[in-house]
Structure 1
Amino acid sequence: MPRYFDHAATTPLKPSAVQAITEHSGLANPSSLHGSGRRARLAADSSRARLAAAAGADPSEVIITSGGTEADNLAVKGLYWQRRHEDGRRRRILLPALEHHAVLEAAEWLEAHEEAELVIIPVDAEGVVDLAALEAMLAEAPESIALLTAMWANNEMGAVQPIGRIGQLCAAAGVPFHTDAVQTFGSIPVSFAESGASTMAISGHKIGAPVGIGALLVRRDVKLMPVQHGGGQERDIRSGTLDVPGLAAFAAVAEEAVASLEAESSRLAGLRNRLLEAVEQEEGVRLRGPDPRTHPQKRLPNNLHFTVDGAEGDSLLFMLDMAGFDTATGSACTAGVPRPSHVLLAMGLSEEEARGAQRLTLGWTTAEEDVEALRQALPGIIRQARTAGMAAG
């Protein structure tokens, strides 16, 4: 069996998720009025309340979706359309260039089809938002801003954004604020109520629930224009029959993740730092994103991202794959696309530097022996990849 170091893409199902799916798989449509439907509704309501508690939200704020991508699209498009409907001057969308493609491409679609104007918030060399620049942007014609979106933590190199401060600045300017917390929820403490965000996206398969279940948390005073229409479920924001087994599994693993958060984060950070020790000894290998040894609060505990001078990220990935290790060059959502990471380019790297990227992400299945095996293999594989050289060289 390969040793799995790609938990940021998806993490294996947890036993608690399998148990919840099995227990709830025979339930009826929760919108039905008969007894079986009412029992399904009761199970859905209970799971929603548990998920809300884990995320620091009220149950009425939890809008169930098919995952993070749908949640991000619903937030970005729904907020934009609602704000334009209320005031036609609101065309500007403020966002960092390192947003996940689910946010970035939704905003670009609005730019191409709905007269949106994208305003890029600068980030520093570690991928953290420049708060001074952001504050100045919010002060410039705030009446023309439709929304601001900034992911809580980056999916590629794990930089954690100052979400609380961003929320305060947006509230002062009267601007709705969406945050993609897909990588963050279950990894570090997350509270929707304390974040200051108007909307927040989370996803089940990043924490051990099945693929196909997620949520958009929507503050009760926030209005969204629906992206899809139908039966009027989920506060009329997202029509569609609820996936009760998936929701029950999501709630179960969310509770589990929050309960063990401190201990598991500490365990994963320790294992991650051992991998960092192994790669930093190699010449031309550079950590990307905040250094977890000096600023642990600025980086997700399970994330290690580095670039290798003179090597292709794909070469590293395939050599590691052949040696029995599952890793990534960046976001799985753009796997197979032969272009440098937009995240690294936004951080100021050249295309050549960005091409040597490798991401290692740990999770609940990661054991010490997995890390030790990778520690032993990495130096040799890095040297082999360098020998192979750059494909365009």
Structure 2
Amino acid sequence: MIHPTSRVLISDLREHIGRTVSVSGWVNTLRLQRRMQFVLVRDHTGMAQVTHERGGEADLLEEQLEHLTPESAVRIVGRVLDNSVVKLGGLEIVPESIEVLNRAETPLPIDEHTGPEQRLDWRFLDIRRRTTARLLFAVQTTLEQGMREYAYAQGCTEMHTPKLMGTASESGAEVFELGYFDRSAFLAQSPQFYKQMAIAAGIDRVFEVGPVFRAEPSFTSRHATEFTGVDLELAWIADVGDVMVFEERMLAHAVAKVAELHGEAIREHFGVEVVVPETPFPRITMADAQEVLRAGGWDPEGGKEDLDPDGERRIAAYIKEHTGHEFVFITHYPTGIRPFYHMRSAEHPDTTLSFDLLWKGLEITTGAQREHRYDVLLKQAADKGMNTEQMRDYLNVFRYGCPPHGGLGMGLGRVLMVMLGLDSIREATFLFRGPNRLTP
């Protein structure tokens, strides 16, 4: 008898023609005809057909197959046969034994016609049943691996910063407050302050992939209250351009890795071509971008200093038309819409040495050169009416020789959205969290 641990993956069945194997997976579909019983069994590598000819009253296999339900977890031991009539790889398994490991209840709570919100309620089942959903997480793994490879090769140290904070990070707005013993704590909006602390600690290049929490009551397709951030901080930079060069090369390396390993599968299942970007990426200042947009009829309400989603799409289309590039850095954002710790331009004090990176019109990254001079930081915080006493631990970082530095924060889900042509960040996340969703 074959031991269960000798499981053969469905993708490897062709190597075992004529042999008896053990296959474990889920029942995909059943066709129980008068003379024959056909079961499609699925594991994470593919599907195989199990073929059984009914044999009469004493046929135990016939009875077991008759009582199977879709999505039941099964272990089937059987002989692999070459059969060109079978559409699934020209192979079939003739069963010798069937073990029902966990019988699925029927009917299933979702099917191919179920709407997106209900599918999120049964996310584990939805992912299991859809090849595209499972492929997404394989792509995510490769994408992260590619970014880590580049970061490590450039001398980065991967850090794990606290997500519980004693004071609200960044501006203090849009944070989640929670009870912490006899006082309040806050979930970190980003690892920004801790990355800078690591720079001051003499860790030259800092890299982190971790959770980010934003208490934004936003219901758009690109916002979440918890998401995975890719964060970077570089010490001893000459200017903010060093950060942009690092990011564009890191992304080019990671996207190339995805294209190599998954390009064909992405094309087949998502209908999208993964284009490896050339470096350097195009750059345009915010002032120039707005001039281009207004000349093209863009007129946002209230004369915004920032770009709205329509403006981002329009400027990306303009760059694509004139350069052929899918990426663009928007630089030199006004001080009024950037955090107090962004360094200001010496030539144009009303602008910051900051950037957003757009990919196909969606913002995936915000970055900047940080202000590392203690006295300037105090002034910039005061300009924004901030209480510096609450930021004492953060500001102390800059009192004892902090070097020039800059960095970025990237939304992993947004990168996957653009790469795979998804309509919503909900699809690019294992378990989505939004203002109205805390389950499953």
User: Higher helix share goes to which structure?
Assistant: 1
Question: Could you state the TM-score of these two structures normalised by the residue count of structure 1?
Answer: 0.24
Q: Which structure has the bigger radius of gyration?
A: 2
User: Higher strand share goes to which structure?
Assistant: 2
Higher relative contact order, structure no. (Cα contacts within 8 Å, ≥ 6 residues apart): 1
